[in-house]
């Protein structure tokens, strides 16, 4: 199974969560588009102590910007039809860049990778003022597209009012609520992976 990790915006903790999730379910990791350095692939390798198989990015762009802009600056044409899933017999965690509507080019967006790879979406909702609007808008987009939402992950200091209203507007379960992490390192990622694994199993997956 392919799991597409997306979020309601940038700097949401997708790479941290992708590292822990890959460890938890024994999945490989792949970031199709990397814009800027250091790469998220290297971060996953470091955080998992190389216990996760990481596949090479299809595109590494020099500028930390929207893929459509970074690609243009590098003289590269990004197109959905050019993407090829890495060969693996394992589950695959695919990390998107930014949120669902980050443009790949003038007509295609990050969320278009979901049907390309037959993936199920795991949505990261990092908690901040305005995250209700951003999360529910993203949920509505996923619903309109008819894509499968596997789970929601809340990331950040808990806010029950925010979490409750979001969960009332989706049929997908919450996989885990991640509190503010003081340190993100191999130890904390391993602990997070064990908690995810426990919840994953309890959900019958």
Per-residue burial over 69-87, b if 16 or more Cβ lie within 10 Å, else e, is ebbbeeeeebeeeebebee
CATH number of the domain encompassing residue 34: 3.40.50.300
Active site residue 31: yes
Q: Pick the catalytic residue from 14, 31, 197, 198.
A: 31
pTM above 0.75, yes or no: yes
pLDDT over 90 at 20, yes or no: yes
Mean pLDDT calculated for residue range 154-178:
97
Q: Which residues constitute the domain of residue 158?
A: 2-202
Provide the number of structural domains found in the chain.
Answer: 1
Tens digits of residue pLDDT in 111-142: 999 999 999 999 999 999 999 999 999 999 99
Tens digits of residue pLDDT in 54-72: 999 999 999 999 999 999 9
50: its two tokens:
């190389």
State the Cα–Cα distance between residues 35 and 20, nearest whole angstrom.
Answer: 22
pLDDT over 90 at 180, yes or no: no
Give the CA angle between residues 170, 122, 71 to the nearest 5°: 125
């Amino acid at each position: 199974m392919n799991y597409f990790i997306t979020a309601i915006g940038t700097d949401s903790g997708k790479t941290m969560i992708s590292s822990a999730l890959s460890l938890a379910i024994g999945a490989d990791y792949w970031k199709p588009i990397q814009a800027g350095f250091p790469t998220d692939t290297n971060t996953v390798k470091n955080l998992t102590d190389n216990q996760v198989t990481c596949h090479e990015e299809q595109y590494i762009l020099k500028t930390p910007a929207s893929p459509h802009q970074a690609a243009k600056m590098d003289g590269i044409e990004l197109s959905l039809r050019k993407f090829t899933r890495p060969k693996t017999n394992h589950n695959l965690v695919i990390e998107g860049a930014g949120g669902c509507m980050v443009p790949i080019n003038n007509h295609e967006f990050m969320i278009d990778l979901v049907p390309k790879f037959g993936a199920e979406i795991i949505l990261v909702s990092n908690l901040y003022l305005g995250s209700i609007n951003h999360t529910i808008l993203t949920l509505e987009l996923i619903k309109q597209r008819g894509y499968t939402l596997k789970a929601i992950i809340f990331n950040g200091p808990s806010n029950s009012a925010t979490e409750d209203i979001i969960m009332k507007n989706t049929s997908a379960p919450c996989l885990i609520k991640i509190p503010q992490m003081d340190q993100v390192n191999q130890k904390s990622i391993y602990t997070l992976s064990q908690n995810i694994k426990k919840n994953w199993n309890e959900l019958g997956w």
